[in-house]
Amino acid sequence: MDLKDLETELARLLAGRWEEWQREKRIEFEVHSLSETDALGAVVERVLENGTVISLLGTLGAGKTRFVQAVSSAAGVPEDEVTSPTFVLIQEYVSGKRPIFHFDAYRLKDDDEFLELGPEEYFDGGGLTFIEWADRVESCLPRDYVQIRISQTGAESRLFEFRRLRK
Ligand SMILES: Nc1ncnc2c1ncn2[C@@H]1O[C@H](COP(=O)(O)OP(=O)(O)OP(=O)(O)O)[C@@H](O)[C@H]1O
Ligand SMILES: [Mg+2]
């Protein structure tokens, strides 16, 4: 599958009514370099509508932050603005063509600590919301969300798995 086919597939996954596709539906795409991650980020930026919440999963160093950088950069946010929100917990990038909200749940003690950040306001904030380690605050996610799992398959290779989930 090339990037163009991926874009079509992702758009179909995101646009279809929930009932029209299976919970098991998953789209896989492997990149082999940082520049391919950037190209993938541009495709994802095009297909995701404002108001989408994206759960980013993958081990330390898998590339979650780097992927948010790729998507944000496609939206016009300068790359150096996008850094790991591990210590500040939430970052907002508003200098691009749409706001991007970037959470990292890695260091959160519990759901309450996440809820104190007021995530609902970001979810409905007219942009994209990315949450690294979102499985740690799963009960706080909206009913519908997109999950992207990143696995390292080589020095610069990464496998991306896309799912649309409903709780
Ligand atoms: N194709 C690629 N896509 C993304 N990152 C890559 C790729 N190839 C190499 N890397 C490197 O992998 C590292 C990914 O780090 P990043 O901070 O994005 O991971 P993370 O998943 O956010 O980790 P953490 O859980 O610690 O927040 C970076 O150093 C990046 O340069
Ligand atoms: Mg990170």
- Residue-wise DSSP of 65-126: HHHHHHHHHHTT--GGG---TTTTSEEEE-SSSS-EEEEE-TT--SHHHHHTT-HHHHHTSS
Domain 3-10+28-166 has CATH 3.40.50.300: yes
**Which positions of the chain have pLDDT values less than 50?**
none
Quote the CA–CA distance of 119 and 163 in Å, as a whole number.
21
Structure-block tokens of residue 63: 């590339």
> Could you tell me the distance, in angstroms and rounded to a whole number, from the CA of residue 110 to the centre of ligand 1?
25
Beta-bridged to residue 73, according to DSSP, are none
- The residue whose C-alpha atom lies closest to atom 26 belonging to ligand 1 is 60
Q: Write out residues with Cβ below 6 Å of ligand 1.
A: 31, 33-34, 37, 58, 60-66, 84, 132, 156, 158
SS3 per residue for 15-55: HCCHHHCCCCCCEEEEECCHHHHHHHHHHHHHHCCCCCEEE
Cα-to-centroid distance, 49 and ligand 2 (Å)? 23
- Alpha-carbon distance 12 to 16, whole Å? 6
pLDDT at 167: 82
Closest ligand to C-alpha of residue 106 is 1
- Residue 62 CA to ligand 2 centre (angstroms): 8
Confidence at residue 87, expressed as pLDDT on a 0 to 100 scale: 72
The two tokens of residue 146 are 């997109």
Q: Minimum-distance ligand to the CA of 135?
A: 1
Whose Cα sits closest to atom 4 in ligand 1?
Answer: 63
What does residue 92 show for φ and ψ, rounded to 5 degrees? Answer: -120, 130
Protein residue closest via CA to atom 16 of ligand 1: 63
Q: What is the pLDDT, as a whole number, of residue 18? A: 66
Res 84: pLDDT: 79
Q: Which ligand is nearest to the CA of 150?
A: 1
What is the tens place of the pLDDT at every residue in 57-102? 999 999 999 999 999 999 999 988 888 776 778 999 999 999 999 9
Rounded-to-integer distance, Cα 149 and Cα 158, Å: 10
